[in-house]
Amino acid sequence: MSPPPSKLDTPTFGEAARFWLRLGWISFGGPAGQIAILHREVVERRRWLAEPEFTGALNFCMLLPGPEALQLAIYLGWKLHGIRGGLVAGLGFIGPAIVLLLGLSWIYARFGSLPAVSGILLGLKAAVLALVLQALLRIGRRALGTGLHVALAIAAFVALEFVRVPFPLIVLAAGVVGSASAWRVPRPASVRTTPVRQGAPLRVAAVGFALWLAPLLAVALALGPQSLWSRIYLFFTQAALVTFGGAYAVLGYVTQHLVEDLGWLTAPQSVAGLALAETTPGPLVIVLQFMGFMAGWNQPDPLAAAAAAILAALLASWATFLPSFVFIFLGAPYVERLTRMPRVAAALAAITAAVVGIIATLLLLLARVVLLPGGLAGGVHWAVLALAVGVWLQLERSRLELHWVLALAALAGLVLQAAGLA
């Protein structure tokens, strides 16, 4: 049971900062697991916030593009200690993931062809296939409650997979349809909002824009406005602004653009990146950092491969995560008003329905890469299919923590490699 508001504790900034800096190392389990950790620690154990405040914050974060668990951490930090609290909470949440995935990315790029590493990655790829299937089924059960939502999911799948409609347009169209479907719903009664200092939103927006512009100008001046790194920064900025539905949804769009349209990396590399991102704490959308890393590694000129890859990875992370901080600091004072707007809620529900179709395109891509590595002519990789089914059964029927499931999958991949089945 959550504590009553009268028994809430107010931590010092130092106490809260120590918690946020530790949080980034224990936040495994994807968005659902991370939100559960935040609820257990902040509401139940430490009694820093009441249940209604936490629920309202979560609903608000669900309205925004970007990783909702990260945004929730930023909001909770802001609620306790203002902007400095939000900064410490957000940076503590993503810092370990950025560092760990940089190391894993370098190991993959440098040693990924070694048999042992290939075996581990094979097991993790099978696990990722099971994880995406689980996400598709869970989101589908929650999001496809009406005929309109089912139609939106099918339309999104067809538009992305066969018509090649850009991902942002699909998200925009779904939002417009959802909002229009709620035109008869009466407007809610006015609600009180947190007082905001005059000019504060404008200052937040100006600082956010300056922080976004500075890396772009630096890269454009040093390497050229049409260089790989300038284009990476602009592309991942665009991706961050339409990241509804989490990493699984945006990865299909990013893979289609970077692999099929631009040729900056291969489909197996993108799947490997998702597998590695699953093994790190923090938001799963950190996989975009890996995508940037491999783009720089594959096309390093005029820099050395490692320098080009690290620069591209950091630019991708900055472009991906900066908007989350800006959105929270801009919208946090208006949480109750925004979460009670029927048209906003209807637009979000429609976008979530479309995300089901988008995740289905990612599942199809993963199935082709993982189960049909040699194409239709090469046949199905039955051993990997059996491993993926085993992982899915573990996820659905056991209480084993995700990191242990991934470890077992990696070990099984090593066994398949040693047995000559990989």
Q: What is the pLDDT of residues 116-162, one digit of tens each?
A: 888 998 999 999 899 889 888 888 888 898 999 999 999 999 998 88
Using 50, 70 and 90 to split pLDDT, how confident is the model at 294? very high
* Distant-in-sequence, close-in-space partners of 143: CB < 8 Å, separation ≥ 6: 149, 153, 349, 352, 353, 355, 356
Average pLDDT for residues 53-57, to the nearest whole number?
81
Average pLDDT for residues 181-186, to the nearest whole number?
72
* Domain range summary for the chain, segments of one domain joined by +: 5-93, 96-110+124-185+203-374
Residues making up the chain, counted from first to last: 422
SS3 56: helix
- Asked if residue 3 has pLDDT above 50, the reply is no
* Percent over 90 (pLDDT), the chain: 44
Q: What is the DSSP letter of 341?
A: -
Q: Are 335 and 58 in contact (CB under 8 A)?
A: no
Q: Greater confidence, 187 or 100? A: 100
Q: How many CA atoms lie within 13 A of 242 on its CB side?
A: 23
* Percent over 70 (pLDDT), the chain: 92
* Distant-in-sequence, close-in-space partners of 271: CB < 8 Å, separation ≥ 6: 125, 128, 365, 366, 369, 370
Return the pLDDT at 192.
53
Return the pLDDT at 232.
96
Q: How far apart (Å, rounded) are the C-alpha atoms in residues 60 and 199?
A: 22
> What is the model's pTM?
0.83
Report the mean per-residue pLDDT for the chain.
87
Q: How far apart (Å, rounded) are the C-alpha atoms in residues 219 and 200?
A: 30
Instruction: Tell me the H-state helices in 67-146.
Output: 68-111, 115-143
Using 50, 70 and 90 to split pLDDT, how confident is the model at 295? very high
Return the pLDDT at 58.
81
Q: How far apart (Å, rounded) are the C-alpha atoms in residues 23 and 42?
A: 11
Q: Are 77 and 20 in contact (CB under 8 A)?
A: yes
Q: Are 84 and 12 in contact (CB under 8 A)?
A: no
- Asked if residue 5 has pLDDT above 70, the reply is no
Highest mean pLDDT among 187-201, 252-266, 316-330: 316-330
- Asked if residue 37 has pLDDT above 60, the reply is yes
Q: 159-173, 174-188, 318-332, 382-396: which has the minimum mean pLDDT?
A: 174-188
Q: Are 388 and 130 in contact (CB under 8 A)?
A: yes
Quick one: angle between helices 247-255 and 267-278, nearest 10?
160
pLDDT 10s digits, 198-252: 568 899 999 999 999 999 999 999 999 999 999 999 999 998 887 776 677 778 7
Return the pLDDT at 184.
67
Q: How far apart (Å, rounded) are the C-alpha atoms in residues 174 and 164?
A: 16
- Asked if residue 188 has pLDDT above 90, the reply is no
pLDDT 10s digits, 364-416: 988 888 898 877 777 889 999 999 999 999 988 887 887 888 899 999 999 99
pLDDT 10s digits, 9-29: 889 999 999 999 998 888 876
Q: How far apart (Å, rounded) are the C-alpha atoms in residues 73 and 88?
A: 9
- Asked if residue 115 has pLDDT above 70, the reply is yes
Q: How far apart (Å, rounded) are the C-alpha atoms in residues 155 and 153?
A: 5
Residue 291: count other Cβ atoms within 10 Å of its Cβ: 31
